[in-house]
C-alpha cells in the first residue's frame, strides 16, 4: 500500500495538479481584459503593483476595527506559517530533494519548524472557526471553502502526527491526504494560491488607470 501511495498515486496526483493548474492559469491569462476607451488618468501598472505589494496591510481607515486586525493577523499567521512549513520543514526539504528536484536547501531547525507549525495551526483554526460563527462569513462560505480548509487542516494534522518518522502507516496517511489535496487543488478555492496576485493586480490596474486606489 505504501509503495502505491508513494509511487503511482503520488505521480498521478502530481500530474493532475500540474496539468490542471497550468490549464487554469493559462485560461485566466489568455482571457485578457476589457478594452479601455477612455484615456488613462494614471499608471495602471503602478496601481497593480501597489495593490499586490503595498496594500497587503490593513488600510488606515480600518485600523480601529478589531475584525480587520483579526483577519489580517490570523490570515498572515496561517499563510506564512504554511508556506514556511511546506518549503522549509526538514522532512519536506528531503522529500523535494529526493522525489522532485534532485537538490535541496537548508531546512529550518526543529524548534523553528514547531513554532511555525503552531502559528499556522492557530491561524487556520481561527479563520475556519470564524466561517461558522460569523453570520456574514457563514453566509458567503460555500462547501468548497469548508472542504479546502478541512483538507488543508487534515494534511497539516497528519503531517504533525507523523513527526516522529517512526511509522510507515502515519507517513502513508499524510502522503495520501497530500495527494488528495493536490488533486482537489486546481478545481477549488485553494487555487487562490496562484490567482491572488492576478486578481489583485487586475483590480489594482483597473482602479490605478482611473487614478484611484483599489
Q: Which residues bind other proteins (CB under 8 A)?
A: 66-67, 70, 114, 117-118, 121-122, 125-126, 129-130, 132-135, 157, 160-164, 166-167, 169-170
Which residue bears the cell 503520488?
A: 10
Whether the CB-CB separation of 92 and 86 falls below 8 Å is answered with: yes
Considering the complex, state which of residue 32 and residue 164 has its C-beta at the smaller distance from other proteins.
164
Q: How far is the CB of 154 from other proteins (least distance, A)?
A: 12
Q: How far is the CB of 42 from other proteins (least distance, A)?
A: 38
Minimum Å gap between C-beta 23 and other proteins is: 36
Q: CB of 190: closest distance to other proteins in angstroms?
A: 21
Range 126-135 contact pairs with CB under 8 angstroms and sequence separation of 24 or more = 126/70, 126/74, 126/78, 127/71, 127/74, 127/75, 127/78, 128/153, 130/70, 130/71, 130/74
Gap between the Cα atoms of 159 and 45, Å rounded: 40
Query: In the complex with other proteins, which residue's Cβ is closer, 11 or 132?
Result: 132
Helix (H) or strand (E) holding 8: helix 8-31
Least distance in Å: CB of 174 to other proteins? Answer: 10
Judged by beta carbon, residue 16 or residue 160, the one nearer other proteins is 160
Q: Quote the CA–CA distance of 87 and 94 in Å, as a whole number.
A: 10
Closest CA to 157 of 184, 134, 182, 176: 176
Min dist. Cβ of residue 95 to other proteins (A): 18
Evaluate whether 125 touches 106 at the Cβ level (below 8 Å): no
**Quick one: 51 or 116, whose CB is closer to other proteins?**
116
Of 97 and 118, which has the nearer Cβ to other proteins?
A: 118
Q: Which is nearer to other proteins, 38 or 166 (CB)?
A: 166
Report how far residue 202's alpha carbon sits from residue 214's, in angstroms, rounded to the nearest whole number. 10
Whole-number Å distance between alpha carbons of 27 and 49: 22
Amino acid at each position: 500500500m505504501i509503495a502505491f501511495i508513494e509511487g503511482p498515486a503520488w505521480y498521478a496526483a502530481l500530474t493532475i495538479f500540474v496539468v490542471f493548474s497550468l490549464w487554469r492559469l493559462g485560461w485566466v491569462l489568455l482571457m485578457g481584459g476589457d478594452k479601455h476607451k477612455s484615456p488613462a488618468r494614471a499608471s495602471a501598472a503602478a496601481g497593480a503593483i501597489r495593490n499586490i505589494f503595498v496594500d497587503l496591510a490593513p488600510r488606515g481607515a480600518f485600523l480601529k476595527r478589531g475584525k480587520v486586525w483579526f483577519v489580517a493577523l490570523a490570515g498572515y499567521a496561517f499563510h506564512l506559517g504554511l508556506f514556511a512549513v511546506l518549503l522549509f520543514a526538514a522532512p519536506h526539504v528531503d522529500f523535494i530533494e529526493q522525489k522532485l528536484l534532485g537538490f535541496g536547501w537548508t531546512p529550518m531547525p526543529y524548534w523553528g519548524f514547531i513554532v511555525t507549525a503552531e502559528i499556522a495551526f492557530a491561524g487556520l483554526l481561527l479563520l475556519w472557526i470564524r466561517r461558522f460563527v460569523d453570520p456574514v462569513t457563514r453566509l458567503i462560505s460555500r462547501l468548497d471553502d469548508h472542504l479546502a480548509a478541512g483538507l488543508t487542516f487534515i494534511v497539516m494534522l497528519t503531517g504533525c502526527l507523523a513527526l516522529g518518522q517512526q511509522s510507515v502507516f502515519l507517513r502513508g496517511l499524510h502522503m495520501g491526504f497530500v495527494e488528495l489535496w493536490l488533486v482537489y487543488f486546481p478545481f477549488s478555492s485553494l487555487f487562490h494560491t496562484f490567482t491572488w496576485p492576478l486578481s489583485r493586480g487586475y483590480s489594482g490596474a483597473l482602479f490605478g488607470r482611473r487614478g484611484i486606489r483599489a
